[in-house]
Chains A and B, each alone.
Chain A
Amino acid sequence: QKEVEQNSGPLSVPEGAIASLNCTYSDRGSQSFFWYRQYSGKSPELIMSIYSNGDKEDGRFTAQLNKASQYVSLLIRDSQPSDSATYLCAVKGEDSSYKLIFGSGTRLLVRP
């Protein structure tokens, strides 16, 4: 059973701080990794994708991938109360079925 693990949280950070969200996965052959943001009662929204080891930056968001250690993380700089949401990690496995495996999400709270 391929798994994607996330700490459910909540992760609480003060406004302006860096929020660090982590995700581990079990399929060593996984190639594609995604972060989705989901506000309460709303649908998931794709915010970052990463395919290669290292860092990928997009505005206040940085995704970090370490395939050897099988983890992917999301850093949110200058956190704002509007960033308070659940962040879902999704992984595309090694097989050819084009399916994503989702973690259960980490809830982030940014305190004003």
Chain B
Amino acid sequence: DADVTQTPRNRITKTGKRIMLECSQTKGHDRMYWYRQDPGLGLRLIYYSFDVKDINKGEISDGYSVSRQAQAKFSLSLESAIPNQTALYFCATSDSFPGRIYEQYFGPGTRLTVT
């Protein structure tokens, strides 16, 4: 079974709709991250969380919100989806053990299309 799972894997939604993307992990990592990937722009960090009570904005957090329901679960919400949020979204995790804290492991991704 995959260590980091994301649901849904694909989603088409309409402008203005609220949508939630979910991430679960069985790696036992404390740190979790949400990225979006657009062609030619690489991976950009939306939000990150070091534990259930520590959530931080990344470089492109506008229009997004997150919830860390448990150590293993980190959800990303688009409150009112717009077409330029069409992208590939990845969840990632990393350990808090010194020497490994920067090594991130990615889920399979969610392809989101906003029409």
Which A residues have a C-beta under 8 Å from some C-beta of B?
A: 8, 32, 34, 42-46, 49, 88, 90, 92, 97-100, 102-105
CA distance A1 to B48 in the complex (A): 19
User: Which residue on chain A has the smallest CB distance to residue B42?
Assistant: A104
CA distance A98 to B48 in the complex (A): 10
B64 at interface by CB-CB < 8 Å: no
Q: Which of B50, B94, B103, B107 interacts with A43 by CB under 8 Å? A: B107
A-B contact pairs, 26 of them (CB 8 A): A8-B40, A34-B102, A34-B104, A42-B108, A42-B109, A43-B107, A43-B108, A43-B109, A44-B90, A46-B103, A49-B103, A88-B42, A88-B43, A92-B102, A98-B31, A98-B50, A98-B101, A98-B102, A99-B48, A99-B58, A100-B102, A103-B42, A104-B40, A104-B41, A104-B42, A105-B42
Chain B residue contacts of A92, Cβ below 8 A = 102
Asked if A102 and B42 sit within 8 Å, CB to CB, the answer is yes
Chain B residue contacts of A8, Cβ below 8 A = 40
Asked if B43 and A44 sit within 8 Å, CB to CB, the answer is yes
Mostly, the B contact residues are strand
Asked if A100 and B41 sit within 8 Å, CB to CB, the answer is no
CA distance A106 to B73 in the complex (A): 32
What are the 9 tightest A-B residue pairs by CB atom distance, in nearest-first order? A104-B42, A43-B106, A102-B43, A102-B42, A92-B102, A32-B102, A44-B106, A43-B109, A43-B108
